[in-house]
A = this chain, B = another copy of it.
Amino acid sequence: MEAPQNTKRTKASEPTLKRLPRYLHYLQKAQDKGILTISAPVIGKELQCDPTQVVKDLATTGVKGRPRIGYNIHELIQTIESFLGYNRANEAFLVGAGNLGMAMMSYPDFQRFGLKIVAAFDTNRDKIGRSRSGINILHMNKFQDLARRLQVRIAVLTVPHTVAQEVTDLLVASGIEAIWNLTPSQLQVPEHVIVQNTSMYANVTLLLKKLQEKDESESVQ
């Protein structure tokens, strides 16, 4: 355990990390169909992206392919999953059992992607004691104690944005090291805490802007 076999400390770029799960999803479907080997050009064609991009992305995981054959699909899946850390089950607490929180609880397969939501928290009395997809909803005042005792490092934040910052302060005080922020708020956190923002608004903006640009380019013609 002293020397790492893989000296490939090739820190993958963010765009690459975002593409890898997509490849993985496609590869798993392909494997289910009984396919044994697959080439980068085929993946690129199917996922409508550049084949050399696929080769480059796969190369960062350290997997080796063979000319004229492609990659062994089983080995490829294993390597990507291991590279992304999907084998470890990272335990997480979800905070905010509203609509979005409930949706996240019943979102399928997070566990296959390395994330296991082990409990949910809210302050609404009507929700406490209930459960969703096997995840119990507890009162927020139990968060700090449980997070410390269970050594949970990750929180999924789905509270209303009006209370996002104050809840975040509690998470940080409870030892949370990584926050998946699904609120539109920009969270203030200490340097050692990781925040991953998933803004629905940014995405809807991008979509509408693309549509708008398409309209404009057509009207110009």
Q: Which A residues form the contact surface with B (CB < 8 A)?
A: 11-12, 14, 17-22, 25-26, 46-48, 84-85, 90, 98-100, 102-110, 113-115, 153-154, 160-161, 177-178, 180, 184-186, 188, 194, 196, 198-214
In chain B, what residue has the closest Cβ to A23? B186
Q: Which of B17, B102, B103 contacts A206 (CB 8 A)?
A: B17
Instruction: Name the CB-closest residue of B to A83.
Output: B209
List 9 A–B pairs whose Cβ atoms lie within 8 Å, in order of A's numbering.
Answer: A17-B205, A17-B209, A84-B208, A110-B201, A115-B204, A115-B208, A154-B211, A177-B214, A194-B211
Q: Report how many copies the assembly holds.
A: 2
**Distance of A160 Cα from B85 Cα, bound (Å):** 25
Instruction: Known A21-B202, A186-B26, A199-B21; judge A103-B113 contact (CB<8 A).
Output: no
Using Cβ atoms and an 8 Å threshold, which residues of chain B touch A213?
A: 11
Q: Which of A12, A22, A106, A110 has the most CB of B within 10 A?
A: A22
A178 touches B211 (CB 8 A): yes
Q: Residues of B contacting A214 with CB < 8 Å?
A: 177, 194
Establish whether residues B21 and A201, one from each chain, have CB atoms under 8 Å apart when the complex forms: yes
CA distance A199 to B15 in the complex (A): 13
A207, B196: Cβ atoms closer than 8 Å: yes
* Chain B positions within 8 Å of A26 at CB level: 186
Residues of B near A14 (CB, < 8 A) are 206
Residues of the B chain whose Cβ atoms lie less than 8 Å from the Cβ of A19: 202
| A99 pairs with B106, CB closer than 8 A | yes
**A20-B205 CB under 8 A given contacts A25-B185, A210-B196:** yes
